[in-house]
Amino acid sequence: MTTESPQILPAAPADPADEYAMRLALDQAQNAWLVGEVPVGAVIMRGGQVIATGYNRPITTHDPTAHAEIVALRHAAQLLGNYRLPECELYVTLEPCAMCAMAMMHARLKRVVFAAPDPKTGVAGSVLDLFGQKQLNHHTALHGGVLADASSRLLREFFAERREAARQLRDARRSAAGAGTSVGAAGEGLDVEAVDTLSALPEVQEFPEIPVGDAQYLSMNSDPSQDNMQDNMQDDTQR
């Protein structure tokens, strides 16, 4: 007998093909960040080939449905000339919301792979499990947790940057008020009050179904750069 602690099985290695596709989705998430959107990205693959990509852009397109998955689905369906995509797999960096999950099911996707869980609006097991509802979904296999840490880190860094920008704006406004001058254009559009609420977001939650290591994530209920988001601050509106 040994005194070794119980054997810890190594985590199942992620499929390299899944990791490859998810890295492409993470690149798309970076694109979202570059245009000031919450960084979520998606890619649709068929037989190892990229069919379509998409990144989150509801604010810049004034389109509440412009989540990364919907953008990618529209591109893929246009390209293939078919509203059903039964041979395609969709990779997305954040657990899908109800809107996107139903769109994926309508498209008859073969498989959906996501990275980080979203405890606020995720319906792949976090808030609901729409993919597990056999009455709704006979078609779409689901896999979560691929590169979850990388996706969560991206979201954390995005919100940290937003908080820092808001902090600087607040300090500038205070200085300006003290000096009797107004703050210049650099701070326009930032909603300081909204950003303050980000600091009070709940801490990391466990996601029991899907191994995500020590992933941490923030809820995505605000974009402090957008004044028109202020009305939505009371809602847990994702993206």
Q: Which residues bind Zn ion (CB under 5 A)?
A: 67, 97, 100
In the bound state with Zn ion, the residue whose beta carbon lies nearer, of 51 and 123, is 123
From the CB of 131, what's the least distance to Zn ion, in Å? 13
Please report how the helices 16-34 and 148-179 are oriented relative to each other, as an axis angle in degrees rounded to 10.
10
From the CB of 94, what's the least distance to Zn ion, in Å? 8
In the bound state with Zn ion, the residue whose beta carbon lies nearer, of 99 and 201, is 99
Active-site choice (69, 157, 164, 209): 69
From the CB of 229, what's the least distance to Zn ion, in Å? 16
CA 46/CA 85 separation, integer angstroms: 9
Given the structure tokens 């059903």, which residue do they identify? 84
In the bound state with Zn ion, the residue whose beta carbon lies nearer, of 101 and 148, is 101
CA 177 to chain CA mean position, Å:
37
DSSP three-state, residue 65: coil
69 carries an active-site annotation: yes
DSSP three-state, residue 41: strand
Q: How far apart are the first and last CA of the chain?
A: 54
What are the tokens at 29? 């998430």
From the CB of 90, what's the least distance to Zn ion, in Å? 11
- From the list 91, 81, 85, the residue with the least C-alpha distance to 54 is 91
In the bound state with Zn ion, the residue whose beta carbon lies nearer, of 121 and 226, is 121
**Catalytic (active-site) positions:** 69
